[in-house]
């Protein structure tokens, strides 16, 4: 692990509709602790001394974004959202190139709907991967006993959980490597649900870095309820 943390760029895919959340607006704009989820997400990066620039990929005519203070922050630039998360990420990576990012630069991709990333986890990722040839991602080891279940709802077997991890974000790769891998994977019709899967498809092995389990993505209503309770318990000192 190197001591000096590398500088980095950030892409925040924020063009999803949040269908599993079933709310009246995309989940990144739902309230959490008096602000929107996406504002908390951006905070963790905007305060960081290593940040070189940040791009948010947004849906066309997004009516919520212009009302946020961060929309007027000159460090925050926009890119077009795409049909799938990976299309939004790719647009964000191309926008970084227009802003002067080089292929060798590190890029962190982080879900707009993952507002509970700590500075400690972010710095752990940067420190662990700063000298890595491929890059990698934050994740957490599977906690519960895992079962493979058949279409009839009956358990087929218990899976070895010691080799199973949940993929989180940020995911950290060199701009050129990630952009090229994503472009080629999408061109081949591969289903790419995170950045690491594009690199895996290209034959590379991203490194898994253990992070906090509470860096969760708001996916379903109960995720937001859990985070809201946690936010209520926060004081200015333990945020
Ligand atoms: N076309 C898309 C789809 C998703 N995202 C973003 O990718 C992140 C993680 O995706 P997910 O949880 O799947 O978000 P949604 O697609 O909004 O949710 P759902 O699948 O429930 O509709 C979110 O911050 C979301 O805004 C995006 O930028 N562009
Ligand atoms: C990248 C990601 O956060 C990995 O957990 C992600 O957004 C995956 O999307 P999913 O469809 O909710 O798994």
Domain boundaries in the chain? 8-137+168-233
Q: 19 CB less than 6 Å from ligand 1?
A: yes
18: left (phi over 0), alpha (psi -120 to 50) or beta: left
Percent of the chain with pLDDT over 90: 95
Give all strands (DSSP E) within 62-188, no chain letters: 76-80, 106-109, 135-141, 146-149, 155-159, 165-174
ipTM above 0.95, yes or no: yes
pLDDT digits (tens, 9 = 90+) for 112-121: 999 999 999 9
Q: Which two tokens stand for residue 25?
A: 């607006």
Q: What is the pLDDT of residue 235?
A: 61
**Structural contact between residues 25 and 62, judged by C-beta atoms closer than 8 angstroms:** no
Alpha carbon distances (Å) from 41 to 36, 102, 206, 217 = 9, 24, 23, 11
pLDDT at 2 over 70: no
Does the structure show a pLDDT above 70 at 128?
yes
Q: List for the chain the helix, strand, coil content (%; round to 5).
A: 35, 25, 40
Mean pLDDT score, 36-49: 96
Angle, CA 17 vertex, CA 179 and CA 73 arms, to 5° = 65
Give nearest CA residue, ligand 1 atom 1: 84
State yes or no: pLDDT of 237 exceeds 80: no
Residue 234: the pLDDT is 77
Per-residue model confidence (pLDDT) at position 121: 98
Q: How many CB atoms within 10 Å of residue 103?
A: 12
pLDDT at 233 (0 to 100): 84
> E strands within the chain?
8-14, 31-32, 35-36, 51-58, 76-80, 106-109, 135-141, 146-149, 155-159, 165-174, 207-210
Atom number in ligand 1 closest to CA 219: 12
Segment 143-185, tens digit of pLDDT? 999 999 999 999 999 999 999 999 999 999 999 999 999 999 9
Sheet holding 51-58, edge to edge: 76-80, 51-58, 8-14, 106-109, 165-174, 135-141, 207-210
Residue 217 contacts residue 114 (beta carbons within 8 Å): yes
CA pair distance 148, 33, nearest whole angstrom: 38
How many angstroms separate the alpha carbon of residue 91 from the centre of ligand 1? 14
Percent of the chain surpassing pLDDT 70: 97
207 has a pLDDT exceeding 70: yes
Q: Pocket residues for ligand 2 (CB within 6 Å)?
A: 85, 111, 167-169, 193-194, 217, 219
Q: How far is CA 95 from CA 6, 56, 89, 91, in A?
A: 21, 10, 10, 6
pLDDT of 239 > 60? The answer is no
Tell me which of 12, 14, 16, 114 to substitute to probe ligand 1's pocket, judged by most ligand atoms within 8 Å of the beta carbon.
16
What the block records as the tokens of 190 is 């591969």
85 CA from centroid of ligand 1 (Å): 6
Nearest residue (CA) to ligand 2, atom 13:
193
Tell me the per-residue pLDDT of 50-71, one tens digit each, with 9 for 90 and over: 999 999 999 999 999 999 999 9
SS3 71: helix
Class of domain 8-137+168-233: alpha beta
């Amino acid at each position: 692990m190197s001591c000096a943390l590398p500088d980095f760029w950030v892409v925040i895919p924020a063009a999803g509709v949040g269908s599993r959340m079933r709310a009246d607006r995309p989940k990144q704009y739902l309230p959490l602790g008096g602000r929107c989820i996406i504002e908390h997400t951006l905070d963790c990066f905007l305060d960081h001394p290593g940040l070189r620039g940040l791009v948010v990929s947004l849906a066309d005519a997004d009516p919520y974004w212009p009302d946020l203070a961060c929309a007027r922050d000159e460090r925050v630039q926009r890119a077009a959202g795409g049909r799938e998360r990976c299309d939004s990420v790719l647009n964000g990576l191309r926008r970084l190139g227009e802003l002067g990012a080089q292929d060798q630069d590190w890029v962190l991709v982080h879900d707009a709907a993952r507002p509970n990333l700590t500075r400690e986890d972010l710095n752990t990722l940067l420190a662990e991967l700063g000298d890595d040839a491929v890059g990698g991602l934050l994740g957490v080891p599977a906690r519960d006993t895992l079962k493979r279940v058949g279409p009839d709802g009956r358990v087929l077997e218990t899976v070895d959980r010691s080799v199973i991890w949940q993929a989180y974000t940020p995911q950290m790769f060199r701009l050129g490597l990630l952009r090229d891998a994503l472009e080629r994977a999408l061109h081949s019709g591969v289903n790419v649900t995170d950045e690491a899967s594009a690199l895996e498809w290209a034959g590379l092995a991203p490194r898994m870095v253990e992070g906090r389990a509470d860096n969760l993505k708001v996916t379903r209503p109960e995720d937001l309820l859990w985070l809201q309770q946690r936010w209520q318990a926060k004081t200015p000192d333990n945020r």
